[in-house]
Each structure stands twice: as structure tokens, then as C-alpha cells.
Amino acid sequence: MTQPVRIPADVDREDRVLANLTVRQLAILAVTGIVLYGGWTLARGVVPLPAFLIVAIPIGVTAAVLALGRRDGMSLDRLVLAALRQRLQPRRRVAAPEGVRPAPEWLTSSITASDATGAAGTSEVSPAALRLPAEGVTEAGVVDLGPDGVAMVAVASTVNFALRTPGEQEALVASFGRYLHSISAPVQVLIRAERLDLSRQISDLREAAPGLPHPMLEAAAREHATYLDQLRRSTDLLRRQVLLVLREPVRATGPTDGLGGASPLTLLRARRARGRDGEITETARRSAEARLVRRLGEATELLSPAGITITPLDAGQATAVLATACNPDSLIPPSAGLAGADEVITTAAPDPDDEPPVHHRSTATRAGRDNAPPEPSALDEWEGGDL
């Protein structure tokens, strides 16, 4: 009889090789030690030991702090590299897939010697092309990742695991395990939290309260709307959503290893093939989308016995999810009607034919019109019995 095995939560933790240190930490410490030892070997004939230690100790301490220190679950050396990359990259980016075009010649030629200081300052804030992982969303809701492949996002319903009996819990775990064993391509289970806005529900309750058939129902609806309003003002309401993200490469990566991922040699071959083949054909992209749809159907069938419903997102919903992920604190709710990054926003000019005609009368005619007696209206004629 099989026994349950507990899987640790830190499955992404790096392997410890020696003295509870990872390969990355050992490499940093070893390289630093070799460099310091080599420097002492070369300089010990001309530099005394105390002077060398004044230089070597800060270097060794810095290397040890970078290798052993951690912050927010990440090693300090990775944070330093990320900070350097962020510092070296342009600060301002614009949506220009074809690249940022240089300034026109008539503008660059007008810069005089007196503007040299200002030009040097503006060169630091020159924009660069914005490269996003997602290039677009098709009408079927498939996210185009460019050369990295395609992806599809689906919403997964939740199951209350704690309220089930031990037998039902084992059945749920077995159903989910069958799905995990069937995975042969990248899959991401994303649990996202977003702010919940109850303004629309509160206004709907207050508008529908007068039309309820009983005064007590109307009072209950108004009290519930007041309660929701107080709850919204007193705390930050969050809404959790479970998303299942399926990803499919456009080009086949070949056989996978036992963990379900491509081997390093296969990835290297795929990268070389990507640079050799050039652009991706439409047939390869459609084949990848077909594989995505098939995998989504398999996930729906395997998770349905566990009571989990998989609902794929359409183009508008997938766009809203991507927009919210890029800007979670935006006050504008994401919508499919928002303009894209490469779209030009214009305002249509008013059509002259749609404007009502304006009648201009001369001063004499208007004066004579004002002095003339008023014409009888149809109401006056009806009251007089003419109609």
C-alpha cells in the first residue's frame, strides 16, 4: 500500500552542494579566494602583509555578504546584478516595435553651440523601444508571445478541500495528481488577488430597493447597501482568482526529460534553430494554437472529476488580465475597448452637415417682426372652436 509523500513548499530551492552552500555561492567564494591568493602571490615581494590585508579584507567581506546574504528570498548577488541591469537600461521606453526613429535632420541641424549643454542633458532621457513578452491577443484569446510561442489563459474554479471527508480529499488529490502526471509542456497555476470595487453593486441595490414588493424587503436592501458601503470604506477588499496558463512553443523542442521539461541540449538546439530559421511561419503558429486547444480540453476532462471547472478567457478578458498584471493599481478598470500600445488615438471632427442651419435675418426685418402682432397658434385656434 502506497504511503503519502509530503512535497516541500520550496521546490525551487537550489541544491546544497557543500557546507549547506549552493554551487553559485561556492563559485563566488572560490573565485574571490583565488583572486586574493593570486594577488598576494604576485605582490608579497613588494607589499607588506598589513597593507595587503587592508585591501583584501573589504573585498573578501563584500564577496561573502553578496554570496551568503539574502533579502526578500533572493540572494544579494542577484539583486546587485538586477540593479546594474536596471541602471544601464534606458529609463523611458515607447511603443515602437520597429525601433525608435532618429530625430529629423532639420531638427538636429538647428541645434547651436549654445544648446550643447541642453542637448547633453536630453541625451540621457532619450527613449528606447519597449519590448513586451506578449505581442498581442488573437480573437480566440490566444496570447502571442512572438518567437517564444503562444499561451492561453483559463479561469479555474475552486474547491473547499478542508470541508471534505478524508476519502473525498484522497479522491481530489488523485484527480489532481492524474493531471500533473499528464503535463508534458509548461503550465502555470497563477493565484492573483485584485482590489474589489463594490460601487456598482451598491448603486444597483439602492436603485432596485424602491421597486421591491414589500417595505421590509426595501429596508433590507437599503441596509445591505449601507453595510457594503461601510465595509468598502473600512477595509481593503480583495478578490482572488485562480488562472491556468498553458504555454506552447511554436517550434517543437524535441524529447523531454523525466521532469517534463526539455533537456539543456535540446534547448540549445532549439535556440540555434530559431536563429537559423528566421521568422515563424503562420502554419507553425496555427499548429501551436491547435495543440493549446487540445491541451486545454485534456485539462478540462482531467480536472472535472475533482469539481474544478476550466473556462477559457476570450480576447477581451485575456487583454484585461494582462493589463491588470502590468498595472495592478490602476484606477481605470481594464477593458477590451481600450486603445492598444501601437494605436493612434484620434478624435473625429464634427461633421458640418450634421449641424443645424443658422438663419440670419436683417435688423429691419427683425425689428418689424418684433413689432408685429403675434400669430395665433394651433392651441389658440382649438380653444376658440375653429378646429
**Model pLDDT for residues 151-171, shown as the tens digit of each residue:** 999 999 988 888 899 999 999
Highest mean pLDDT among 225-229, 282-286, 380-384: 225-229
- Which class for 22: exposed (0-12), middle (13-18), buried (19 or more C-beta within 10 A)? middle
The residue whose grid cell reads 447597501 is: 225
Q: What is the mean pLDDT of residues 205-215?
A: 91
Highest mean pLDDT among 129-138, 344-353, 376-385: 129-138
pLDDT score of 30: 92
- Which class for 269: exposed (0-12), middle (13-18), buried (19 or more C-beta within 10 A)? middle
Name the pTM for this structure: 0.58
| Percent of the chain predicted with pLDDT > 70 | 68
Spatial contact of 237 and 231, defined as CB atoms under 8 Å apart: yes
The residue whose grid cell reads 541625451 is: 123
Grid coordinates of 214: 414589500
Mean pLDDT, all residues of the chain: 76
pLDDT score of 279: 63
